[in-house]
Amino acid sequence: MPDQEPRAELDARYSSEGATATEWQDAVAALARAEVYWLTTVRPDGRPHVTPLIGVWTEGALYFSTGVEERKARNLRDNPHVVLTTGCNRLDEGFDLVVEGEAARVTGAPRLRALAEAWEAKYSAEWHFEVEEGGFVSSVAGEVLVFEVAPRTAFGFRKGELYSQTRWRFA
């Protein structure tokens, strides 16, 4: 999936005077270099579930993995809607991102091999995964499911000298 160029909108209500909408490519760069993401899924009873995880941004989507019986995997069986966040926990500096979309399971071996290589390149050999049809296999976690989240809507929050809130909408 190639990186899409979404429509960017600055929300002046939450932006400093003189701020401009952030370019999507700036958001893509921040998503690609982030080390930790927070995933929000929905439990069967409607309550949210939030957990930190690692992932990779490639070809226009964010990819994450989870053990077959982990809470997030069980939640995704019933409801694929997710929110992924990453950024900086500082009020006066940084760039925070929120990505809304649907988690779709990745099962093809060629794609999974490329993703396993991307995980290891980003996080080191400590995060080596073997690939089997349908997912990863880890010496620690056993069978691991892999999910892709292509953004439907994303938000960027710049903080510092100029504050800005940008919304990107995807076709």
List beta partners, residue 99. 84, 154
87 lies in a domain? yes
43 lies in a domain? yes
2 lies in a domain? no
Q: Between residues 136 and 25, which one has the greater pLDDT?
A: 25
- Could you give the number of structural domains in the chain? 1
Angstrom distances, CA of residue 122 to CA of 35, 36, 118, 119, 143: 8, 12, 6, 5, 21
140 lies in a domain? yes
d(CA 113, CA 8): 33
**Mean pLDDT, range 156-161, rounded to an integer:** 95
Angstrom distances, CA of residue 99 to CA of 12, 18, 103, 120, 166: 20, 25, 11, 23, 12
pLDDT value of residue 134: 85
46 lies in a domain? yes
**Mean pLDDT, range 28-54, rounded to an integer:** 97
115 lies in a domain? yes
Say if residue 1's pLDDT is above 50: no
**Mean pLDDT, range 76-89, rounded to an integer:** 96
Element (H, E) at 76: helix 71-78
Say if residue 53's pLDDT is above 60: yes
d(CA 115, CA 55): 10
103 lies in a domain? yes
pLDDT value of residue 156: 98
Q: Count Cα atoms within 13 angstroms, Cβ side, for 61.
A: 18
The CATH number given to whatever domain includes residue 48 is: 2.30.110.10
1 lies in a domain? no
d(CA 136, CA 33): 22
Structural domain boundaries, residue 106: 7-169
CA geometry: angle at 63 spanning 77 and 34, to 5°? 130
**Mean pLDDT, range 91-110, rounded to an integer:** 95
